[in-house]
A and B are shown apart, each in its own frame.
Chain A
Amino acid sequence: MSASTTSHRLYKALFITLLLVFALVYLAPLYVMLTTSFKGIEEIRNGNILALPTTLNGSAWSKAWSSACTGGDCYGLAPYFWNSMRIVLPAVFISTVIGALNGYVLSQWRFTGSNFLFGALLFGCFIPFQVILLPMAKLLAWLGLANTVPGLVLVHVIYGVAFTTLFFRNYYVGIPTELVRAARLDGAGFFAIFRHVFLPLSAPIIVVSIIWQFTQIWNDFLFGVVYSGPGTQPITVALNNLVNTTMGGKEYNVDMAAAVIAALPTLVVYLVAGKYFVRGLTAGAVKG
């Protein structure tokens, strides 16, 4: 074996070790969360934080889901989980549809000022949430949507459209305009061309849009805490309340189970559609 192969192997082993260490450090909190959530409260107090649970105890999970106290109520995270779903699903759907149509118009049906409009929409991606808190609260109150699920949907749609438009516009700009011209000569109108020619091409970018929007909206805390009422709080707000509500001692196992429950949907979305996400993000760079 030559010297160069030996040193090459050494480097490779070094890199892999390094990567493993990073991965371990990154995954350690998740490990602690999962193990802690299956321990009893006595075991947590007396045992090592890194130790595996002696028995698999699911009581913390059921408590977190259905009976833990979040502020005054003690129904667990379940109602808030469904609140979040009621906010996220329509908001993701509406912002994706609007983004697709915007992108279609801005890339294929250019008009005077369309570039300016796109620039203005792009600007929306860079506005911090905090800046618009007060004016948006005023607007929601004026619309009669304060503290309601539709109000939160509206806020997330408005914020999301900037991103979804950007995604779809950049994806559609790679589709030759001659396709639109051919379809127009074939007698198809604006929506028929979108439905028959563009939509069937859009699967990768729709996945990108859905993952992005789902993650953003599901994980949102600020809008959720500011614009929700007692019955419309999303799960992120409920999780915060759950962790901060203490009756007697701190129940770390319940807190951990609740945190995993709150993170689970975004994890599932990534696992199911993750490979399309990467594919969709790079699709624009490849000529078909």
Chain B
Amino acid sequence: MGSIKIQQLTKSFGDTEVLKGIDLDIKDGEFLILVGPSGCGKSTLMNSIAGLEDVSSGDILIDGDNVTDLSPKERDIAMVFQSYALYPTMSVSRNISFGLEMRKVPKAEIAKTVADVSQLLQIEHLLDRKPSALSGGQRQRVAMGRALARNPRVFLFDEPLSNLDAKLRVEMRTEIKKLHKRLGTTIVYVTHDQVEAMTLADRIAVMKDGQVQQFGTPYEIYNNPANRFVADFMGSPPMNFIECVVLDDKLVIESQGEKFELHINHGERLKQAGVETVILGIRPEMITEPKPHVEGALVHSIPMQVDVTEPMGPDTIAFGQWNGTEIQARLSPEAGVEAQATGHVKVQVDTSKAVFFDAFSGARLDA
């Protein structure tokens, strides 16, 4: 069991407020990702949950017990560190068993746990080695093994994959997800990589400046972002933000000197709000080459000048300009080749998933 409740948590270093009243409710068995740019307070929040840092005010409850003032070892939490923090003088096997040894677990039980964990992570052949004789990926596994051996109520992962090369990172990402599915233990996972956040999480807490900007499922965060910051941070290539004039219940787009009207959902709401301009947020995958089977009032055809293209393999990102703002469209590789050759492309714009933000505050206008 391992549900976590964080209530009005604040933390200050001197005059700097690092956490400004965090509220999170993490269900037992949930995979929660804390994501945000560096300096947003996500690591501080994780250290507070671990008990490695004192909080200034607020409460942390694990399974309903208030652990705010308990020492790390009394919280029954295990953590995987960014640097792995393996004990350099101990063998892999002792690294894994050290926590059990400190908790006075009987020897036979320790031996069994080490055997089980090393089998699960496929590190049996490494048990007698020292950490210095391991590769980065192997160290990563041992660090996870050390956490698993304790069978804690909660796992904390502090950017565990950021020191691995790109290929290994993707492999380990999948493995962590499988491991979570198998063990069902609550995981709180800190990362600044939005792809990791999207792929791993049951729910994501997007943080900025010591505050949670949005707390929701990857689907909600991606498709229904609470504000412009969340919309911008999640998604690669990032969402396009285009400042548009509101005309009745439609938006005006200017491309290659011509003006086009965009039909949108919730247009009447923008009209009622009486705003003159609005930031249109539309993801690159909604600006594509014409797809004949997609039709409707929200699908438009707009010509676009192509400044540069970036072939990604499965698709090609084309950079153009609308309303004086650089935008990115996601074309098929074939359309990409043609756009590169001719310097322009006629794109299909689908506004069914477009979102709208206040030009000044960045707040959502249509939600």
List A residues at the B interface (Cβ < 8 Å).
176, 178-179, 181-189, 192, 196-197, 200-201, 288
| In the complex, chain A residues whose CB is within 8 Å of the CB of B83 | 176, 178
| In the complex, chain B residues whose CB is within 8 Å of the CB of A181 | 50, 52, 72, 79, 81, 85
Please provide the 9 A-B residue pairs with the shortest distance between their CB atoms, ordered closest to farther.
A186-B99, A200-B89, A178-B85, A187-B102, A182-B85, A187-B73, A184-B72, A178-B81, A188-B102
Check B139 for interface membership: any CB of A closer than 8 A.
no
Distance A186 CA – B90 CA, assembled complex (angstroms): 14
Shortest distance between the CB of A86 and any CB in chain B (Å) = 34
Check B38 for interface membership: any CB of A closer than 8 A.
no
Distance A274 CA – B77 CA, assembled complex (angstroms): 45
Of A185, A187, A192, A197, most buried by chain B (CB within 10 Å of CB) is A185
The answer to whether B73 and A184 have CB atoms under 8 Å apart is yes
The answer to whether B73 and A176 have CB atoms under 8 Å apart is no
Chosen A-B contacts, 11 in total, with CB atoms closer than 8 Å, are A176-B85, A178-B82, A181-B50, A182-B81, A182-B85, A183-B87, A186-B73, A186-B98, A187-B73, A187-B99, A288-B88
Q: Please provide the chain B residues from 51 to 92 with a CB less than 8 Å away from any CB of chain A in the complex.
A: 52, 71-73, 77-79, 81-83, 85-90
Shortest distance between the CB of B21 and any CB in chain A (Å) = 25
Check B150 for interface membership: any CB of A closer than 8 A.
yes
Distance A184 CA – B99 CA, assembled complex (angstroms): 9
Chain B residue at smallest Cβ distance from A179: B85
Chain A residue at smallest Cβ distance from B158: A178
The answer to whether B78 and A185 have CB atoms under 8 Å apart is yes
Check B103 for interface membership: any CB of A closer than 8 A.
yes
Chain A residue at smallest Cβ distance from B74: A187
Of A184, A189, A201, most buried by chain B (CB within 10 Å of CB) is A184
Name the prevailing secondary structure of the B interface residues: loop
Distance A179 CA – B78 CA, assembled complex (angstroms): 13
The answer to whether B77 and A185 have CB atoms under 8 Å apart is yes
Across the A-B interface, how many residue pairs have beta carbons closer than 8 Å? 61
A178-B85, A196-B98 are known contacts. Are A185 and B103 too (CB-CB below 8 A)?
A: no
Q: How many residues of B contact A (CB 8 A)?
A: 24
Check B12 for interface membership: any CB of A closer than 8 A.
no
The answer to whether A184 and B85 have CB atoms under 8 Å apart is no
Instruction: Specify which of B72, B82, B87, B132 is in contact with A185 (CB 8 Å cutoff).
Output: B72
The answer to whether A197 and B50 have CB atoms under 8 Å apart is no
The answer to whether A192 and B102 have CB atoms under 8 Å apart is yes
The answer to whether A186 and B102 have CB atoms under 8 Å apart is yes
| In the complex, chain A residues whose CB is within 8 Å of the CB of B77 | 185
Q: Please provide the chain B residues from 78 to 121 with a CB less than 8 Å away from any CB of chain A in the complex.
A: 78-79, 81-83, 85-90, 98-99, 102-103
Chain A residue at smallest Cβ distance from B47: A181
| In the complex, chain B residues whose CB is within 8 Å of the CB of A182 | 79, 81, 85-87, 146
| In the complex, chain B residues whose CB is within 8 Å of the CB of A178 | 81-83, 85
Distance A275 CA – B113 CA, assembled complex (angstroms): 42
| In the complex, chain A residues whose CB is within 8 Å of the CB of B50 | 181, 185
Distance A188 CA – B146 CA, assembled complex (angstroms): 14
A176-B83, A192-B102, A196-B98 are known contacts. Are A184 and B89 too (CB-CB below 8 A)?
A: no
| In the complex, chain B residues whose CB is within 8 Å of the CB of A196 | 87, 90, 98
Distance A192 CA – B104 CA, assembled complex (angstroms): 13
Of A178, A179, A186, most buried by chain B (CB within 10 Å of CB) is A186
Chain A residue at smallest Cβ distance from B81: A178
A178-B83, A196-B98 are known contacts. Are A185 and B73 too (CB-CB below 8 A)?
A: yes
| In the complex, chain A residues whose CB is within 8 Å of the CB of B98 | 183, 186, 188, 196
The answer to whether A184 and B52 have CB atoms under 8 Å apart is yes
| In the complex, chain B residues whose CB is within 8 Å of the CB of A192 | 102
| In the complex, chain A residues whose CB is within 8 Å of the CB of B99 | 185-187
Shortest distance between the CB of B79 and any CB in chain A (Å) = 5
Distance A181 CA – B81 CA, assembled complex (angstroms): 9
Shortest distance between the CB of B109 and any CB in chain A (Å) = 15
Given contacts A178-B83, A178-B85, A201-B89, 5 further A-B contacts (CB under 8 A): A182-B79, A182-B85, A185-B77, A185-B78, A186-B98
Shortest distance between the CB of B161 and any CB in chain A (Å) = 16
Chain B residue at smallest Cβ distance from A176: B83
The answer to whether B87 and A179 have CB atoms under 8 Å apart is yes
Chain B residue at smallest Cβ distance from A177: B85
Of A182, A188, A189, A201, most buried by chain B (CB within 10 Å of CB) is A182
Mark each residue of chain B from 151 to 167: 1 if its CB lies under 8 Å from any CB of chain A, else 0: 00000000000000000
Shortest distance between the CB of A137 and any CB in chain B (Å) = 44
| In the complex, chain A residues whose CB is within 8 Å of the CB of B73 | 184-189
| In the complex, chain B residues whose CB is within 8 Å of the CB of A183 | 87, 98
Distance A252 CA – B198 CA, assembled complex (angstroms): 86
Shortest distance between the CB of A20 and any CB in chain B (Å) = 41
Mark each residue of chain B from 235 to 249: 1 if its CB lies under 8 Å from any CB of chain A, else 0: 000000000000000
| In the complex, chain A residues whose CB is within 8 Å of the CB of B82 | 178
The answer to whether A186 and B85 have CB atoms under 8 Å apart is no
The answer to whether A186 and B150 have CB atoms under 8 Å apart is yes
Distance A8 CA – B146 CA, assembled complex (angstroms): 58
Q: Please provide the chain B residues from 261 to 318 with a CB less than 8 Å away from any CB of chain A in the complex.
A: none
Chain B residue at smallest Cβ distance from A175: B88
